[in-house]
Amino acid sequence: MSATLESLIEALRCLPGVGPKSAQRMAYHLLQHDREGAARLGFALDSAINRIQHCERCNTYTETSVCDRCQSDRRDTSVLCVVETPVDLNMVEQTQAYNGLYYVLMGRISPLDGFGPRNLRLEQLVARASDGLVKEVILATNFTNEGEATAHFVSELLKRQGLKVSRIARGVPVGGELEFVDSGTLAQALRERRRLES
Amino acid sequence: MRPVKVERQAAFVLHSRPYRETSLVVEAITRDYGRMALVAKGVRRPRSAMRGVLMGFQPLEITWSGKGDVVTLHNAEWQGGQPLLQGRALLCGYYLNELLINLLPREDAHEQLFEHYSTTLQTLSASETHDAAFFSAALRRFEKRLLGELGYGLMLAHDTSGQPIAADIRYLYEMESGPRIIADSSASAGTISGQTLLDMDAESFDNPVTLIESKQLMRSLMAFYLNGRQLHSRRLFEELADL
């Protein structure tokens, strides 16, 4: 096997879930059946690596030093929503129920995997949340143990800066019938019930 | 010989890691089969029924089949009744899991330890309003019983010469041997008071000095048995304290 082909196969293995066999299949496929696609892939990867960076304010991916959302003057600068990933950010955006700004952690704290606070850019979050305009930080990390651990650490960190911190609510989903809701969710919804004001 | 299929076994997930595209390898502690590894196929798919169930610190009943080092998980059902761990309690839970993963050999049944782990989680989950001392006491109790179950039980009632521990004497706790009386009775580093040993024996951690000294003793014991392995959860506690 040529050295170039070998290094292509080796390079493809960096993708999650791709072992030596799949990498070899991909390499042969690209070379035999889709050279044009391979060229596009190579170009797209090259330009993505060179042009996509983290937004200086919200840490999400952007081609400019500050992303369009953070530059927009139609956003409410008094609330900052903290999410784990850009995908989570998109989900919150889709709700059209939130008009504030974001901070993307690009990960979560997972103690047993050795992934701790030092692996997240938390100094940048503290600086962002302390801009004087942010009045409330909403923690929208996942409701998994890792998401909770992350929320706990981040809330302790931000509360020490004198910031007001809140956590998104959890419970029975919209349109959810109790009969079909999983019992863990229902149990938590009962514990975190709220009083109806008269 | 282990049965090929085991149904509805009481268990807790200790840790899980992604495996292939849509699966997980789950490290769990079970009541009758001890710590084991299970492959949970397809559970990372969005609509998998087990997706939200295989969460750490929650009482489950699991069904698996297979022989060998890694068996196949077929079903997991949430047993309920326990709030999710939050805040400091959650970090304590991670610490317990890390101890079990590092110290408990696989497939060694420890029913008592399982029960105690379960009770400790309940204590932690019901403790939103408690202070740091409450959590420390819960961890010390668990550590003590864990060492006992592993066959490294602490010697807390007698010293190395067989004499009963006296509350007002200071001792040096020697690894795998026990407390030895020291001539110099001042509270020098690494020594422990007889009172602390007696309190630990009785699992009574109300005295603040007992809490501090037992923590130091347990820390050196754990370091000894962990044999150089570092605990990530402890580092997280320290990072939190450094804020």
Assigned architecture for domain B5-78: Beta Barrel (2.40)
Q: Do domains B5-78 and B87-242 have the same CATH topology?
A: no
Residues belonging to chain A with any Cβ–Cβ distance to chain B shorter than 8 Å: 17, 109, 111-114, 116-118, 143-145, 148-149, 152-153, 156-157, 160, 182-185, 187-188, 191
Among B17, B98, B240, the residue with its CB nearest the CB of A156 is: B240
State the average pLDDT over residues B220-236. Answer: 93
Cα-to-chain-centroid distance, residue A45 = 21
pLDDT at residue number A129 = 96
The band of B127, judged by pLDDT with boundaries at 50, 70 and 90, is: low
* Distance from C-alpha of A88 to C-alpha of A150, rounded to nearest angstrom: 15
B228 to chain A, closest Cα gap in Å: 15
The pTM of this model reads: 0.89
Torsion angle in degrees (nearest 10) through CA of B154, B158, B159, B160: -80
Rounded to 5°, angle at Cα B212 from B208 and B215? 135
What percent of chain B stands above pLDDT 90?
72
- Chain A contacts in chain B segment 48-77 (CB below 8 A): 52-53, 55-58
| Domain range summary for chain B, segments of one domain joined by + | 5-78, 87-242
* Distance from C-alpha of B211 to C-alpha of B189, rounded to nearest angstrom: 15
* Distance from C-alpha of B93 to C-alpha of B205, rounded to nearest angstrom: 19
A112, B94 Cβ separation under 8 angstroms: yes
Among A148, A152, A182, the residue with its CB nearest the CB of B52 is: A182
State the average pLDDT over residues B127-149. Answer: 89
What percent of chain B stands above pLDDT 70?
95
Assigned architecture for domain B87-242: Up-down Bundle (1.20)
User: At which residue do the structure tokens 């004087």 appear?
Assistant: A132
State the average pLDDT over residues B223-233. Answer: 93
**What does the block give as tokens for A163?**
């910031």
Reading chain A (198 residues) residue by residue, the pLDDT tens digits are 899 999 999 999 999 878 899 999 999 999 999 999 999 999 999 999 999 999 999 999 999 999 999 999 999 999 999 999 999 999 999 999 999 999 999 999 999 999 999 999 899 999 999 999 999 999 999 999 999 999 999 999 999 999 999 999 988 988 888 998 888 788 888 988 989 987
Instruction: State the complex-level ipTM.
Output: 0.88
Task: Please give the mean pLDDT across all residues of chain A.
Answer: 94
CB contact under 8 A, A118 and B239: yes
CB contact under 8 A, A117 and B239: yes
A49-98 pLDDT, tens digit each: 999 999 999 999 999 999 999 999 999 999 999 999 999 999 999 999 99
